[in-house]
A and B are shown apart, each in its own frame.
Chain A
């Protein structure tokens, strides 16, 4: 039967071409949609891992009935004390703990970017070098004890500037490397918003020594000792208060257990594995939606396959009837049609994946070459892997087989006598 099927596929070139084209288009779309879904998911997880490593647990004071404003409520209402910090740090499985302190007074930061002087109310945070070691671009900068003091800025601030100011207004985008070494001026007690606090008294110089996605977005992060000294000099509340603590577990597998123990101490614990689970669950909806679109495209291809096969069978009545006259059973005829459909479906799916991969590579190259300074745009927009290829080829072949099933049933019912006497 296989020999006969291959023969028919080769002889009926136009029919074979039409069905292969239908399957190729369907599977190609499916591959791109699946790759797009996978790409967005991967980019999101990579972005999440930039902010937090897999073995990190962030501990914050528990604030009821508030999620988005939890951090601000924590600042004003609840703090982690030194005793709390000791208890938390002693939990089994923790490799290191990095408490995050904050400047207890109002302040503003000023910087010159591309010839524009930007000043805004901001916050100052203190974090240990160990937590930021990979993001500090100037060697030993965190150990500096005189002005300009070292500061790390959130990498997301650059994305916000590039996406909301530079690109819409046609200004050149800025990169992290071009801003390392740039000076920032701090005005303690000065506010751009509150009328009573609009008098600049002192000014303190900082130097950008790197960018990090792990630090707070709304301000600058500096060495904790310098923050301590600034609090002593400018804040009415001179006590070092811990906004949050970053715990580093010995391994990512320890994070759920440590988080559980932190919660037992009545603190809020957040870790990447849990976040990923939540995000992954949300991504499932996106995957379902894209799969549904793929399925609609494949069903359209399926209709084309059904129509082509039905038309072909009407043309092949004499041939199939002859097979029946020579002893072919109904199942032989069904198998003949299904083998043809399966083979065409498989070949069409392979073509679809090749074409889809080509389009994906071109898209990825175009995007990574066009948006070079936009970190928010992932390098690989469409991510393809073996699982995607296998799924697409399998789906394409199955759809072709299912589409040919009704025509195959119809072909099996061809009466040999009617076909021969035609």
Chain B
């Protein structure tokens, strides 16, 4: 479903060139739960932004359902972000001037085809995230965990195929973070979306079916937790592949 081939991302500062991603090759199957891990500045957020269509690759191809999104026009990218991707950010990124319901409905305002019953769907999603009672509340009246629940409901409103979450528990305490992660996992299963989480938290990464470790802009290893994987296994692109049967995980060292 998602296939990144030889992806580079470079930033230019004066005469200096910073390579945040370097020859990244990843393949993600439909319905997978992937965790992108690595230290701060490793390039995991950049990778997530490129998959989410927020940023573009400097080189290489990013294929989503066999379409190379790196060739998309601005309008096509906007449409892609609106229909195929659901974003969950560390900072929640909610509109403080809108109510809980209006925030959830926000992506539908930019949809090309105005779907009916969007409000009903938003209420259903808010019910799923446990915030139906707060439907008319203002954002400032919510706790951090509640804000992230609103963001998750908003991410799912247009029924995206891919849910990307950048450090979704980064601004939350451990207990709330764990609840949010469980919620994300549950919704990923019920809505049958592909879930990609960027995190530096090893505990979160362990809950993913597959962990892709990134360091200095390159994919260093991929770990597959087979016991947790309930979907089709990704066909790893690497030429060398080692399987550790004892630990119930498969590790591919790059």
Residues of chain A touching chain B, judged by Cβ–Cβ distance below 8 Å, are 1, 3-4, 7-8, 11, 318-319, 322-330, 332, 416-417, 420
Tell me the smallest distance from the CB of B42 to a CB of chain A, in Å.
16
Q: Can you name 29 A-B pairs with beta carbons within 8 Å?
A: A1-B109, A4-B109, A7-B98, A11-B97, A318-B93, A319-B95, A322-B95, A323-B106, A323-B110, A325-B87, A325-B93, A326-B82, A326-B87, A326-B106, A326-B154, A327-B79, A327-B82, A327-B107, A327-B111, A328-B110, A329-B79, A329-B110, A330-B78, A332-B109, A416-B81, A417-B49, A417-B55, A420-B89, A420-B93
Q: A420 and B78 in contact (CB under 8 A), knowing A1-B109, A8-B97, A327-B110?
A: no
Q: B85-99: contact bitstring with A at CB < 8 Å (1 yes, 0 no)?
A: 001010001010110
B75 at the interface (CB under 8 A from A): yes
CA distance A7 to B82 in the complex (A): 21
Instruction: Contact check, B74 vs A3: say whether CB atoms are below 8 A apart.
Output: no
Instruction: Contact check, B109 vs A417: say whether CB atoms are below 8 A apart.
Output: no
User: Count the B residues whose beta carbon is within 8 Å of the partner chain — how many?
Assistant: 24
Which residue from chain A places its CB closest to the CB of B157 in the assembled complex? A326
Chain B residues closer than 8 Å to A11, beta-carbon distance: 97
Instruction: Contact check, B95 vs A416: say whether CB atoms are below 8 A apart.
Output: no
Chain B residues closer than 8 Å to A330, beta-carbon distance: 74-75, 78
Chain A residues closer than 8 Å to B75, beta-carbon distance: 329-330
Q: Which of B158-213 contact A (CB under 8 A)?
A: 158
Instruction: Contact check, B97 vs A325: say whether CB atoms are below 8 A apart.
Output: no
Residues of chain B touching chain A, judged by Cβ–Cβ distance below 8 Å, are 49, 54-55, 74-75, 78-79, 81-83, 87, 89, 93, 95, 97-98, 102, 106-107, 109-111, 154, 158
Which residue from chain A places its CB closest to the CB of B49 in the assembled complex? A417
Chain A residues closer than 8 Å to B102, beta-carbon distance: 7
CA distance A406 to B195 in the complex (A): 39
Tell me the smallest distance from the CB of B224 to a CB of chain A, in Å.
30
Instruction: Contact check, B89 vs A329: say whether CB atoms are below 8 A apart.
Output: no
- Of listed B83, B107, B109, residue having the most chain A CB within 10 A: B109
Instruction: Contact check, A322 vs B93: say whether CB atoms are below 8 A apart.
Output: yes
Q: State which of B54, B95, B98, B111 has its C-beta within 8 Å of the C-beta of A420.
A: B54
Instruction: Contact check, B54 vs A328: say whether CB atoms are below 8 A apart.
Output: no
CA distance A416 to B82 in the complex (A): 13
CA distance A329 to B109 in the complex (A): 11
Instruction: Contact check, B97 vs A327: say whether CB atoms are below 8 A apart.
Output: no
Chain A residues closer than 8 Å to B79, beta-carbon distance: 327, 329
CA distance A332 to B54 in the complex (A): 17
Q: A1-B109, A326-B87, A326-B110 are in contact. List 7 more A-B contacts (CB 8 A).
A: A3-B109, A11-B97, A327-B107, A328-B78, A329-B75, A332-B109, A416-B81
Which residue from chain B places its CB closest to the CB of A328 in the assembled complex? B110
Chain A residues closer than 8 Å to B98, beta-carbon distance: 7
Chain A residues closer than 8 Å to B107, beta-carbon distance: 326-327
Chain B residues closer than 8 Å to A3, beta-carbon distance: 109
CA distance A328 to B87 in the complex (A): 14
Which residue from chain A places its CB closest to the CB of B105 in the assembled complex? A3
Chain B residues closer than 8 Å to A318, beta-carbon distance: 93
Chain B residues closer than 8 Å to A323, beta-carbon distance: 106, 110
